[in-house]
């Protein structure tokens, strides 16, 4: 399905603050960008670079006062996600080199502490997809989805203790558990069609049988029509905006709509 996505951010600042944004989708696996727009008001300059994961990043230096960032895009996406209950676990020695970094612990996914728990959740299951699905179901059943209880510094360990959080936290806990049983897992942020309430979203992917599979612990049956903004080891790598100073995000509007046929 072709999706029109849009995100508008309104900032207010009393000082000049450097910002690194990941707000412009790129064509890639499962999505093709047809149109794309990135507007700053006031009309300040920006630069762009690709980070070590290949994400396109925008660097700006906020003005004093108001700053509005508007991004829109028209993107072709897939209506479904790949589901394959028989997708096999790949023994570490056979994993492609580029996936190995997604086995290591990271800031918000202390996977070095989750091996026992992950083995427990997945015991007696065939190795691979069904293990990940069991982890996803476990997190979905045991963590309450609610805003306001976790923060940007909450990690998988924190959430496993509090058992309450949002999409980001659900993903972190799933990722830490997957890595705990040597399945490469990475964080994804982006847009999801029909998300309620509409917002930017976070989910995760795991590497099995020679491809990345999409998983989302916030949905009963994870749906397609996703637009990826960034991939990384966890939220520290894929924040849609990383700010280096005091700047207030006053308002944020996100929309995802089906593009009319033309």
Note the residues at the interface with a copy of itself (CB under 8 A).
16, 18, 20, 26-28, 32-39, 45-49, 51-53, 57, 59, 61, 76, 91-93, 97, 100-101, 103-107, 110, 112-113, 152-153, 182, 236-237, 242, 244
Q: Return d(Cα 173, Cα 226) in angstroms, integer.
A: 21
Q: Measure the CA–CA gap between 239 and 45, rounded to whole angstroms.
A: 21
Could you tell me the smallest distance in angstroms from the CB atom of residue 18 to a copy of itself? 4
Compare residues 58 and 218 and give the one whose CB is closer to a copy of itself. Answer: 58
Indicate the residue among 47 and 124 with the shorter CB distance to a copy of itself: 47
At closest approach, how far in Å is the CB of 258 from a copy of itself? Answer: 15
Quick one: which of 202, 257, 251, 253 has its CA closest to 231? 202
Question: What's the closest the beta carbon of residue 71 comes to a copy of itself, in angstroms?
Answer: 10
The least CB distance from residue 86 to a copy of itself, in Å, is 23
Taking the least distance from each CB to a copy of itself, the nearer of 18 and 142 is 18
Structure letter (DSSP) for residue 82: -
CB of 60 to a copy of itself, least distance (A): 8
Using the minimum distance from each CB to a copy of itself, give the nearer residue, 189 or 195: 189
CA dist 143 and 165 (Å) reads 7
**Cα 40–21–11 angle (5° rounding)?**
50
199 vs 188: CA distance, rounded Å? 14
Closer to a copy of itself by Cβ: residue 160 or 218:
160
**Between residues 32 and 88, which has the closer beta carbon with respect to a copy of itself?**
32
What does the alpha-carbon distance between residue 59 and residue 170 come to, in Å, rounded to a whole number?
Answer: 29
**What is the DSSP code string of 16-36?**
--EEEE------BTTEEEEEE
For residue 36, the minimal CB distance to a copy of itself (Å) is 5
How far is it, in rounded angstroms, from Cα 49 to Cα 58?
Answer: 7
d(CA 182, CA 76): 33
């Amino acid at each position: 399905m072709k999706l029109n996505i849009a995100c508008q951010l309104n900032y207010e600042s009393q000082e000049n603050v450097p910002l690194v944004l990941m707000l412009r989708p790129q064509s890639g696996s499962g999505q093709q960008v047809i149109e794309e727009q990135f507007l700053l008001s006031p009309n300040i300059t920006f630069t762009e670079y690709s980070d070590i994961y290949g994400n396109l990043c925008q660097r700006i230096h906020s003005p004093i006062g108001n700053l509005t960032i508007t991004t829109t895009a028209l993107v072709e996406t897939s209506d479904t996600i790949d589901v394959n209950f028989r997708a096999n676990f790949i023994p570490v020695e056979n994993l492609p080199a580029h996936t190995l970094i997604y086995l290591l612990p990271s800031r918000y996914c202390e996977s070095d502490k989750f091996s026992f728990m992950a083995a427990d959740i997945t015991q007696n299951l065939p190795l691979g997809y069904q293990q990940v699905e069991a982890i996803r179901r476990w997190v979905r059943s045991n963590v309450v989805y609610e805003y306001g209880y976790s923060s940007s510094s909450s990690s998988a360990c924190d959430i496993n203790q509090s058992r309450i959080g949002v999409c980001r936290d659900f993903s972190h806990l799933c990722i830490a558990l997957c890595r705990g049983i040597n399945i490469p897992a990475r964080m994804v942020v982006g847009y999801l069609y029909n998300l309620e309430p509409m917002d930017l979203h976070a989910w995760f992917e795991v590497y099995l049988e020679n491809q990345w599979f999409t998983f989302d612990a916030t949905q009963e049956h994870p749906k397609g029509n996703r637009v990826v903004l960034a991939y990384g080891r966890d939220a520290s790598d894929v924040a849609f905006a990383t700010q280096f100073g005091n700047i207030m995000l006053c308002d944020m509007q996100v929309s995802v709509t089906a593009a009319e046929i033309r």
